[in-house]
Structure 1
Amino acid sequence: MLLGAIADDFTGASDLANTLARGGMSTVQFVGTGRGKTDCEAGVIALKTRSAPVDDAVRQSLEAARWLLEQGCEQIVFKYCSTFDSTPSGNIGPVAEALLRLTGTGVAVVCPAFPATGRRLFMGHLFVGDRLLSESGMQNHPLTPMTDPDIRRWLQQQTKGEIGSIALDVVRSGAAALRNGLRAELTAGHRLVVVDAIEDSDLTTIAAAVADHKLVTGGSGIAQGLPQNFRDQGKLSGAAAEVPLVDGPGVVICGSCSTTSQNQVACHLQNHPGLAIDPAVLMRGSMSVERAARWVEANAAENPIVYSTAAPEVVSFVQQRFGREDVAGKIEAFFGGLARRLADAGTRQIVVGGGETSGAVVEALGLKNMMIGPEIDPGVPVLVADRSGPLGLALKSGNFGSPHFFAKALDRIAGHE
């Protein structure tokens, strides 16, 4: 294993694995701290630490990094969301600093940019499309509301050391200039350095500049150029993994409440049956996994969707009434239990919307690792696991995907274009 990656949620892990596989690295996504097959060039460990207590996030991330280093990894990537989902007391800074210490790294870039999905970083400020992060809808995220687009300022609240910054004009001057800039930041005492990027070519330049860095941090976009570093060293086999097609009953599960997910749910409901899960009803115990599973099975031929997606004001009302963490935990447990019940009964395709929901589903299914298949939409690949036969999945971050993503994902898992 040449490159090891640690992702703070499951959709982010598949996003990164997709980027590395497209770059020509044989890639496996692991669930938890690394188990199963290790005959790959890139291993991506999916953790569920984005909203975990800081100490837990650091402990799990270090455990994952140690395992990856034991497999021979020459470079570690710490992957977080391209919308930098966290809070002022969040985990990105503490985990990054802990990984700096573990790997003995002097300086590491911080770059959540992913231009293909509209995430661009300029003068340290993160944009989603043509809006600042804080005006993109992410300010209403139920767990990690992003109210400040300045990644330098946000990260500074989470870290002990001072945060550095490198502007776009330095990146555009080339890899050598960027390497000099990173050395200057380290001399100034800045070990985490926010680096601008607004196009894929900027990310390629960053990748070239950090070819000898033991630690790299960023969104999945940061990995676009990393495979080329290993290719230039003659270390890649060039062998593509064969991923089986998976046919059979399919279901869509969506727990994300992002604006993108709301639109995708509405699109899917135009041609497919849907079961709305009211969080308040769920909290009162009036909806059970078994009841929902029977509804899915009755509509199995029509690729149904089960969703708790709702407008921010509705989510906020339920959270205020029952408690944010209790509501989130209840929804995740419900969807995880539903996925397990359906898979046990023969469902072979499961498409999931939302990072926390995806983590709950994969953990409930008890999967060890997943093969990386073709890309569905930017950042979202087909995943195939072995669970009493092939099980096809798609794990979508709330803000990712085209309007008709859910139907497209089911078609792609089955091998239909």
Structure 2
Amino acid sequence: MSISVNPQTKPLLGCIADDFTGATDLANMLVREGMRTVQTIGIPECAPTDVDAIVVALKSRTIPATEAVAESLAALAWLQQQGCQQFFFKYCSTFDSTAAGNIGQVTDALLAALGADFTIACPVFPETGRTLYRGHLFIQNQLLNESGMQNHPLTPMTDANLVRVLQQQTSGKVGLVGYPVVAQGAEAIQTEIAALRQQGVRMAIVDALENADLYAIGAACAGLPLVTGGSGIALGLPGNFIRAGLLNPSENAPANTLPAVEGWSAVLAGSASLATNGQVAHWKENHPAFRIDALAVARGEPVVANALAFASQHLATQASLIYATTTSDEVKQVQATLGVERAGALIEDTLAEIARGLFALGVRRFVIAGGETSGAVVQALNVKALRIGKQIDPGVPATTSIGETPVALALKSGNFGAVDFFEKALRQLGDAR
């Protein structure tokens, strides 16, 4: 693929993300590198204007692979109609989807639709401790399967060897671009890619330890129709368009400029990750919090009404946290009682209904923790698209919805953010209390 000048100023990069917080994370990276970026919630009815990149957020990480493929292909077709010149498939930096895996199947389908024979897979995100060496994924100093991800209630990861993991999800040959090659820079990576293609490799896991590696990998991928990975690899893609003369960030207003949003604030948390558990515990030390009990919801107790009554008592003075976050052991106990799918759906539906109730009370700033929770809430609020603002913590920017009644949102993947993330996010969204 050669990047060519588009006189109609259409978007350059079209992205497909398999969950909502991952999409926001990716958009954050592109904005940091000077690309005006809009995130859509699913495939929109109208195309955004005056943007350099579009990120289509799907909720396809844990659905059946056939459905994930169909949704991803539909998103690709729409992005092609907008005139995008290169495409990016974004998944989690912990490389998780389901036991059967959606990453390989979706990648296969996107390659076929684009008439391409090769792409890379690089979930590395050094700022959050995700690195790859010799094909093995590390979370901070621990292998993926020893990091806590082996106990994830929906997508447990029990193997850190991503070449092996990906090979189980595709009939195509999977290879590796190892760190000794990556450390030599973009030209060496391109040479290795050419050699792997000659060997019939269709997808290659690419090692990386630092952001400098990601910039080199991105430069090496300038000629690929499709790139796949976590949000980190997106750091190196805007530079290709700048070098080709298609993108000049200095000509536009800052890519992260957002309008102010007035209204009350609230925090909703549904993730069971270690990071979110720590954030919830930190918040509860000095701020009001209301816990959602899935078993109480299942018994038909008025949990939503009670949560809204609790929040309304504090709206004028400070934001409240409404959370279903708990330990992985407690999640398993609830799942054993209700079933995995029902337990998850109850929490998502409950937090979505609470979000609608909060909006009716005048809440216009929401901090949301958890990918599934974020997806449920933005759908409940009828959010169709987001403009991406400044970064709050690595991987999480401030955003504002596009529409008649704007809502300020911080959509956080469960594993992301410092322990005081909720407080920082509210300040960045405009709540100075």
Report the TM-score when normalising by structure 2: 0.94
**Matches of residues 180-199 of structure 1 in structure 2 within 5 Å?**
180-199=191-210
- The 8 Å contact of residues 258 and 389 in structure 2, kept in 1 or not, is answered as yes
Amino acid at match of 2:271: S
**Aligned mate of 2:313, from 298, 304, 309:** 298
- Aligned match of 2:388: 372
Residue 243 of structure 1: how far off its partner (Å): 0.8
* Distance (whole Å) between structure 1 residues aligned to residue 171 and residue 360 of structure 2: 47
Whichever residue aligns with residue 384 of structure 2, its letter is K
The equivalent residue for 2:39 is 29
Kindly report which structure 2 residues correspond to 1:276-295, keeping only aligned pairs within 5 A, or say none. Answer: 276-295=291-310
Deviation by residue 1:198-245 (Cα, 9 ceiling, x = unmatched): 100111110010011110000000100111110111111421243112
CA distance in 1, matches of 2:402, 2:307: 25
CA distance in 2 between partners of 1:312 and 1:386 (Å): 36
Percent of aligned positions that are identical = 48
- C-alpha change, 1:72 and 1:348, in structure 2 (3 Å) is same
1:275 corresponds to which of 280, 290, 297: 290
Q: Deviations over 1:104-131 (max 9, x none)?
A: 1121010000001100011111111111
8 Å Cα contact 1:257-1:310 kept in structure 2? yes
SS of 1:390 mapped into structure 2? coil
Correspondence for 1:259: 274
Call closer, same or farther: CA 1:370–1:390 in 2, change over 3 Å: same
Residue 223 of structure 1 aligns to a residue in which SS?
Answer: helix
Shift of 1:415: 7.1
- 1:45 partner SS: strand
Match of 1:407 in 2: 423
Q: Which amino acid aligns with 1:133?
A: L
> Contact 2:124–2:208 at 8 Å: present in 1 too?
yes
Number of residue-to-residue matches in the alignment? 417
SS in 1 for 2:295: helix
Task: Report 1:3-402 matches (<5 A).
Answer: 3-36=13-46, 37-238=48-249, 239=252, 240-241=254-255, 242-300=257-315, 301-386=317-402, 388-402=404-418
Any conservation in 2 of the 1:204–1:225 contact (CA below 8 Å)? yes
In 2, the alpha carbon distance for the partners of 1:150 and 1:269 equals 38
Structure 1 alignment gaps of length 5 or more: none
| Separation of aligned partners in 2, 1:387 and 1:200 | 35
Equivalent residues of 1:247, 1:413 under 8 A apart: no
Asked if the contact 2:61–2:98 (Cα under 8 Å) also holds between the matched residues in 1, the reply is no
CA offset digits 1:228-272 (Å, max 9, x no partner):
110111111421243112232111000000111100000011111
State the AA in 1 paired with 2:287. Answer: H
The DSSP-based 3-state class of the residue aligned with 2:215 is helix
Residues 18-76 of structure 1 show CA distances to partners (whole Å, capped at 9, x for unaligned) of 00011001110111013442331100011001111111111110000111111111110
Aligned structure 1 segments of 4 or more residues deviating by more than 6 angstroms? none
SS in 1 for 2:400: strand
Q: Which moves more between the two structures, 396-405 or 331-340?
A: 331-340
* Cα distance in 1, alignment partners of residues 262 and 393 from structure 2: 20
CA pair 67-38 structure 1, distance change in 2 beyond 3 A? farther
Question: Cα gap change, 1:366/1:248 in structure 2, threshold over 3 Å: closer, same or farther?
Answer: same
Q: Does the Cα contact within 8 Å between 1:34 and 1:64 map onto a contact in 2?
A: no
Preserved contact between residue 336 and residue 360 of structure 1 (Cα < 8 Å): yes
Contact 1:88–1:155, Cα closer than 8 Å, also in 2: no
TM-score by length of structure 1 reads: 0.97
1:22 alignment partner AA: R
CA 1:197–1:40 in structure 2 vs 1: closer, same or farther (change >3 Å)?
A: same
Distance between the aligned counterparts of 2:62 and 2:302, measured in 1?
26
Instruction: For 1:287 and 1:155, locate their aligned partners in 2 and report how far apart those are by CA, in whole Å.
Output: 44
SS in 1 for 2:306: helix
Q: CA deviation at 1:388?
A: 4.2
Give the Cα–Cα distance (whole angstroms) in 1 for the partners of residues 116 and 299 of structure 2: 50
Gaps of 5+ in 2: 1-10
User: Which residue identity does 1:54 align to in structure 2?
Assistant: A
Deviation, structure 1 residue 87: 2.7
Contact kept in structure 2, 1:354 and 1:398, CA below 8 Å:
yes
Deviation at 1:284, TM superposition (A): 1.8
Deviation at 1:282, TM superposition (A): 1.7
Partner deviation per Cα, 1:282-329 (whole Å, 9 max, x = no partner): 222214323322221112122110111111111001101110011111
Inter-partner Cα distance in structure 1 for 2:366 and 2:247: 32
* Between 137-146 and 381-390, the greater mean CA deviation after superposition: 381-390
Letter in 2 for 1:362: V
- Report if the CA contact (8 A) 2:292-2:303 is conserved: no
Q: 3-state DSSP class of the match of 1:164?
A: strand
Q: CA RMSD in A?
A: 1.4
Moved more, 61-70 or 86-95: 86-95
Q: 1:389: how far off?
A: 2.7
**In 2: Cα distance, 1:159 partner to 1:287 partner:** 46
Answer yes or no: is the 8 Å Cα contact 1:88–1:157 preserved in 2. Answer: no
